[in-house]
Amino acid sequence: MPADLQSNLAWQKLREFAPESIEDAQFFRGELTLRVRPESLRRVCEFLRDAPGLAFKYLSDVTALDHYPNEPRFETVYHLYSIETNQRLRLKVRVPGENPRVDSVVPVWPGANAFEREVFDLFGIIFEGHPFLRRLLLPEDWEGHPLRKDYPTEGYR
């Protein structure tokens, strides 16, 4: 395990709080990525937001990755930032390709609203508990989700 991971406060505190919720931790170019179990996502997010000394009160970004044809097919990615401690953290959650669903983090950070709608629109991942989960960038009657890897980039519709 790399030394900079051991000294990371978010990693230390989260391991004390809920060790079973973390599947994997990686360090690349000075950025910490934690892979969180889907069922504990909201609990982990609330902890990271409220824990003193962490205070990840700012949600920078929510997006997703499509690993088609591998399973679990999707990953949702959350970029958190703490204005107080000037730390960044990336969370990832694995989402299956069949009926992709994951808990919404809008109750934790209201700012996730538009980001999750965008992911729903372009990847077709359903965020449970989202207050207004509708297409955002594409028309309501659009078929398919363009950022999926099996969505064609050329040819006729």
Q: Which residues bind other proteins (CB under 8 A)?
A: 28-29, 31, 33, 57-61, 63, 65-66, 77, 79, 83, 86, 88, 90, 109-115, 118, 122, 134-141, 146-147, 151, 153
Cβ contact 21:35 at 8 Å: no
CB of 142 to other proteins, least distance (A): 10
CB of 72 to other proteins, least distance (A): 16
Residue 20 per-residue DSSP state: G
For residue 54 the two structure tokens come to: 């962490």
CB of 52 to other proteins, least distance (A): 16
CB of 146 to other proteins, least distance (A): 6
77 bridge partner residues: 63, 92
Residue with tokens 């934790």: 108
* Nearest-angstrom CA–CA distance, 93 and 89: 13
64 bridge partner residues: 76
- Of 39 and 142, the one with the shorter C-beta distance to other proteins is 142
Cβ contact 96:71 at 8 Å: yes
- Of 24 and 39, the one with the shorter C-beta distance to other proteins is 24
- Of 39 and 132, the one with the shorter C-beta distance to other proteins is 132
